[in-house]
Amino acid sequence: MRLRLMLSFALIVVVSVAAVVLIVRQGAAVEVRTFMFRGGATGTSGLVTALEAYYQEHQSWQGVESFFTSMPGRRGGPGGGPGGPGPGAMMNQRLRLVDASGNLVYDTTNPSAGGSLSQEQLQSAIPLQSGGKTVGYLLPDEGAAFTVGDERALVSRLSQAAISAGLIGAGLSLVLALVLAYRLLRPVRALTTAARRLASGDLSQRVKIAGDDELAVLGHTFNQMAESLQQAEATRRAMTADIAHELRNPLAVQRANLEALQDGIYPPTPENLTPILEQNQLLTRLVEDLRTLALADSGELKLEQHPTNLPRLVRRVVERFMTQANTNQIHLEVVSGAAMPALLLDAGRVEQIIGNLLSNALRHTPPGGQIEVKIDLQDSAQRPTTVLVSVHDSGAGIPAEALAHIFERFYRADRSRSRSQGGTGLGLAIARRLAEALDGHLAAANHPDGGAVFTLYLPYRIDQHSLSAKEKIL
């Protein structure tokens, strides 16, 4: 990772510096050529352009004398401006115009002079171009003798300077890239180390998070994953211990009774076999509860949704617990709100949820208390969206420290009382997982009037065949 990052930085630096050097070299050559060969050094660049335009228009130097005599003899005259000297900017120095063959066309100090210039003199003259050809030369007396060889030497020196500057810049850039790569990869290295330790079994590994960039988000996600794994491992260990504990007690009771029967201490009467049968039923219920949870966790719990009259189903479940409620002198009633059509539900699973809630409520409601089962609808935009089934008991309520754990497997606020009454500690956990499998939710809270209240939320799914014509239109 570090090597790739460094190579990427190096490639960017090399390409950038090379491009800068080439552009600077080309630009320097153009500017030097313009400055030294196009009148930039003598201030006659504007005059050179004007003479080339004159030749382009007339296709000869005939009458160029009038061009020179019509120019003002001071700086800033016609043709000048802020962009550079005009044609008359250098009229107070001697200017000679020569045609392509070297013959003198015009001399500003001696208009009637004639003759020709030598090749040595023409080497320091400014060539005049038209149509890609040299059509003449302009020779200012103050022009420097600058040849093509001098241009190459100057451009070469400028190129060397540009390359040196580029190499220095590249070196500094690579040093900066190394520092940045180290700082950028430091959290990645820390994350890699923590991930390796996590993979080796150390689930307590966490990484420090600073900032809010992508690496910080990655670190936060890693910490969440590690926290989830640690909690899952703690839950697995606790669950294993709880299952062993729950299995050990019934098995111990069964073994003690069987040994007593085998040794002849107890005669094999129905009364003496009853405790063994009860413990076997408890073990069967525990195994079935564990199987239900395993199916729900793996998403393999089969649901069979059919049109169901929910109020009737709830009343049927309540009737099963009525005898137990009367025995404990507990008033158990059902309160149903507005009428509702048949809903698409898995009646068996809903019955199992409500049965677990009622069983839990009866265990925690003292004699003389009451349990209210209420069915209602939750509206959104004047349309029902959720069905609510709540079970409210008049017991002591749920301790504040137990609210966050009430749906955990094998969790009991009062372990001894629950076990003595035959509970497996899985009823509420199963109820919540079944509710989630039905696309619903199960919540627990303490009622303002006292006691605990468990509320089952189910989606309001209507069996269209059960609706009347008027209800379908609405």
The 3-state secondary structure of the chain reads: CHHHHHHHHHHHHHHHHHHHHHHHHHHHHHHHHHHHHCCCCCCCHHHHHHHHHHHHHHCCCCCHHHHHHCCCCCCCCCCCECCECCCCCCCCCCEEEEECCCEEEEECCCCCCCCECCHHHHCCCEEEEECCEEEEEEEECCCCCCCHHHHHHHHHHHHHHHHHHHHHHHHHHHHHHHHHHHHHHHHHHHHHHHHHHHHCCCCCCCCCCCCCCHHHHHHHHHHHHHHHHHHHHHHHHHHHHHHHHHHHHHHHHHHHHHHHHHCCCCCCCHHHHHHHHHHHHHHHHHHHHHHHHHHHHHCCCCCCCEEECHHHHHHHHHHHHHHHHHHCCCEEEEEECCCCCCEEECHHHHHHHHHHHHHHHHHHCCCCCEEEEEEEEEEECCEEEEEEEEEEECCCCCCHHHHHHCCCCCCCCCHHHHHHCCCCCCHHHHHHHHHHHCCCEEEEEECCCCCEEEEEEEECCECHHHCCHHHHHC
pLDDT, residue 42, reads 47
pTM attached to this predicted model: 0.51
In this structure, the answer to whether residues 451 and 347 fall within a common structural domain is yes
pLDDT band per the 50, 70, 90 thresholds, residue 148: low
349: pLDDT strictly greater than 50: yes
Average pLDDT, stretch 34-46? 56
pLDDT band per the 50, 70, 90 thresholds, residue 442: very high
Query: Could you tell me if residue 68 is inside a domain?
Result: yes
Q: Which of 298, 327, 349 is the last residue of a domain?
A: 298
Average pLDDT, stretch 75-84? 37
Average pLDDT, stretch 359-367? 91
Task: Report the CATH number that the domain containing residue 446 is assigned in CATH.
Answer: 3.30.565.10
In this structure, the answer to whether residues 362 and 412 fall within a common structural domain is yes
pLDDT band per the 50, 70, 90 thresholds, residue 474: very low
Mean model confidence pLDDT for the chain: 79
pLDDT, residue 326, reads 92
pLDDT, residue 26, reads 66
pLDDT, residue 127, reads 86
pLDDT, residue 418, reads 47
Number of domains in the chain: 3
pLDDT, residue 408, reads 83
In this structure, the answer to whether residues 341 and 249 fall within a common structural domain is no
276: pLDDT strictly greater than 50: yes
Domain range for 289: 214-298
384: pLDDT strictly greater than 50: yes
pLDDT, residue 466, reads 52
In this structure, the answer to whether residues 338 and 379 fall within a common structural domain is yes
pLDDT band per the 50, 70, 90 thresholds, residue 452: very high
% of the chain beyond a pLDDT of 70: 78
Task: Report the CATH number that the domain containing residue 288 is assigned in CATH.
Answer: 1.10.287.130
pLDDT, residue 74, reads 35
Q: Which of 145, 169, 201 is the last residue of a domain?
A: 145
pLDDT, residue 389, reads 94
Average pLDDT, stretch 426-433? 86
Give 81-100 pLDDT, tens digit per residue. 333 344 444 446 688 888 98
pLDDT, residue 33, reads 57
Higher per-residue pLDDT: 412 or 250? 250
